[in-house]
Amino acid sequence: MNLSDHLNLQEHPFMQNATRPLIVRLTEKRSEGRVVRSASFGNQQVWWELAGPEHSLPAPLVAHDMAATALVFVAMHRGQDLYIDGPVTYSLLKNMEDLVACWVAWRPDLYRPIRVGAAQELPDSAIPAPYAPRAVAAFSGGLDASFTAWRHVTGRAGRRSYPLHAGVLIQGFDIALDAKAAFDTTIASAADSLHSISVPLVTLKTNWRTVACVNWEMEFGNGVATCLRNWQGSASAGLVGSDEDYARLVLPWGGNPITYTMLSSRDFQIVYDGGEFARTEKAEGILDWAVGLRNLRVCWEGPTTGRNCGRCEKCLRTKLNFMAVGAVLPESLAGRPSDAQILRLRAANHAQLVLLEEIVQIAEKRQIDESWLRMLKLSIRKNRFLNTFSIFGKLRRMLGSFKRRLVAR
């Protein structure tokens, strides 16, 4: 939990005097190989631009459920009831009552209780069912996404396996909308990976993060789920690779199996996929997918090139995932980290720290006895110490700001 979040929130444009319902209108424009949807609210607009093979794009709009999921956090920030000027499924509206209650309980400093309504409540039977059960999967080319795609096309998810209708590569989240060269590089590698397993690639560009997201760590899962909900009526599920495994869940956190269920409707499930596997086990799980390994893209902290920098926290951590099972590093993450690099690792939040601890636990189970593991244990202790002081520092700044406000009055 970021103790300074609620201070910044007061200055955010969402926190304007909000007394009337937040009214949202969803529209769609279509052309060959392209679909653009826009959700307008007040003088602002969130848009999603999808491009890909015509047979992999969403069917024309019937339910406007994605407008509700896209703007519910804006409404909760404002403490403003949300009204969708269009049809929304009854089951989604029902689940969103739980969603609002859950986030208000978890983060009352960020979110307020609201009601969600629509011009028309659709029975779930009103949405045409896909010809056969199938799913779309969020596909960044990262470890979680690659594991999800690979296990579904190989049937390793058992009864939970879905045929994949499309892999969805999103621009506007970790890769900025103006980073064209980086996104073009990412498209090439993602297309190569998906082509090797006969799954079409659809690119999706959106300004959701800049227009409708205040706290990324708490809300990113909602953004991904909304992107996948474009396929409501064309697929029966949207797959999102799990962040933490079930044994190491960090709550509250934007991507989790609890609130993904609350972002689902009866006809379109948002699936927290692969939660029974630790991240290190996922690395081991794609060792037999050579193309996926070659195109693995995990970097978001380093230079925005569409490739891995090899030096940031996530690049180094992913290298350690492979090393913990005794695997050779893939060429996309070439170069073993030095002991000094591992010791300098900075895990700035609890979720990152949990993922480092997981590597230690699995490496010890595999009887790894190398210097890098000893350095990682020291790095974890160092980060626990630094994070403790960081929390106290934020609390001190928060109290100081509160005191200055009282004096000003």
pLDDT tens track for 151-162: 999 999 999 999
Distance CA 312, CA 331 (A): 17
Residue 3 pLDDT greater than 60, yes or no: no
Instruction: Give the per-residue pLDDT at 15.
Output: 42
Q: Which of 121-125, 139-143, 325-329 has the lowest mean pLDDT?
A: 121-125
Residue 403 pLDDT greater than 60, yes or no: no
Beta bridge partners of 83: 23, 117
Residue 407 pLDDT greater than 70, yes or no: no
List the structure tokens of 204.
């999706």
Residue 272 pLDDT greater than 90, yes or no: yes
Distance CA 240, CA 232 (A): 15
> pLDDT-derived band of residue 14, with 50, 70 and 90 as boundaries?
very low
Q: Which of 72-81, 295-304, 344-353, 362-371 has the lowest mean pLDDT?
A: 295-304
> pLDDT-derived band of residue 17, with 50, 70 and 90 as boundaries?
very low
Mean pLDDT computed over 114-143: 92
Q: Which of 12-21, 93-102, 363-372 has the lowest mean pLDDT?
A: 12-21
pTM for this entry:
0.90
DSSP, collapsed to helix, strand or coil, labels residue 40 as strand
> pLDDT-derived band of residue 401, with 50, 70 and 90 as boundaries?
low
List the structure tokens of 45.
């607009």
Q: H-type helices in 137-247, by residue range?
A: 143-153, 180-195, 208-212, 216-228
Instruction: Give the per-residue pLDDT at 115.
Output: 98
Mean pLDDT computed over 209-232: 98
Instruction: Give the per-residue pLDDT at 397.
Output: 54
Domain segments of the chain as ranges: 5-126, 298-391
Question: Is the separation of the CB atoms in 223 and 73 below 8 Å?
Answer: no
Instruction: Give the per-residue pLDDT at 370.
Output: 97
Residue 207 pLDDT greater than 60, yes or no: yes
Question: Is the separation of the CB atoms in 209 and 216 below 8 Å?
Answer: yes
Mean pLDDT computed over 287-304: 90
Distance CA 341, CA 328 (A): 19
Residue 10 pLDDT greater than 70, yes or no: no
Instruction: Give the per-residue pLDDT at 404.
Output: 47
- CA angle, 325 as apex, 321 and 330 as ends, to 5°? 60
Mean pLDDT computed over 62-72: 98
> pLDDT-derived band of residue 306, with 50, 70 and 90 as boundaries?
confident
Residue 9 pLDDT greater than 70, yes or no: no
Between the CA of residue 256 and those of 53, 57, 218, 241, 281, what are the distances in Å?
31, 27, 10, 10, 18
Instruction: Give the per-residue pLDDT at 305.
Output: 80
Mean pLDDT computed over 163-183: 96
Between the CA of residue 168 and those of 34, 49, 295, 306, what are the distances in Å?
14, 12, 16, 16
385 φ, ψ (degrees, to nearest 5): -60, -50
> What angle do the packed helices 371-408 and 313-323 form, to 10 degrees?
150
Distance CA 398, CA 246 (A): 33
Question: Is the separation of the CB atoms in 47 and 71 below 8 Å?
Answer: no
Report the candidate in 245, 310, 240 with the shortest Cα–Cα distance to residue 282: 245
Instruction: Give the per-residue pLDDT at 124.
Output: 84
Report the candidate in 69, 270, 272, 290 with the shortest Cα–Cα distance to residue 193: 290
Amino acid at position 79, single letter = G
Residue 132 pLDDT greater than 80, yes or no: no
Higher-confidence residue of 277 and 300: namely: 277
Give 327-380 pLDDT, tens digit per residue.
999 999 989 999 999 999 999 888 999 999 999 999 999 999 999 999 999 999
List the structure tokens of 53.
């093979």
H or E segment at 261? helix 257-262
Residue 301 pLDDT greater than 90, yes or no: no
Mean pLDDT computed over 40-58: 98
Residue 396 pLDDT greater than 70, yes or no: no
Distance CA 242, CA 221 (A): 10
> pLDDT-derived band of residue 394, with 50, 70 and 90 as boundaries?
low
239 φ, ψ (degrees, to nearest 5): -95, 130
Q: How many CB atoms lie within 10 A of CB 32?
A: 6
Mean pLDDT computed over 130-151: 94
Mean pLDDT of the chain: 92
232 φ, ψ (degrees, to nearest 5): -60, 125
Distance CA 167, CA 136 (A): 6
Q: What percent of the chain has pLDDT over 70?
A: 90
Residue 8 pLDDT greater than 60, yes or no: no
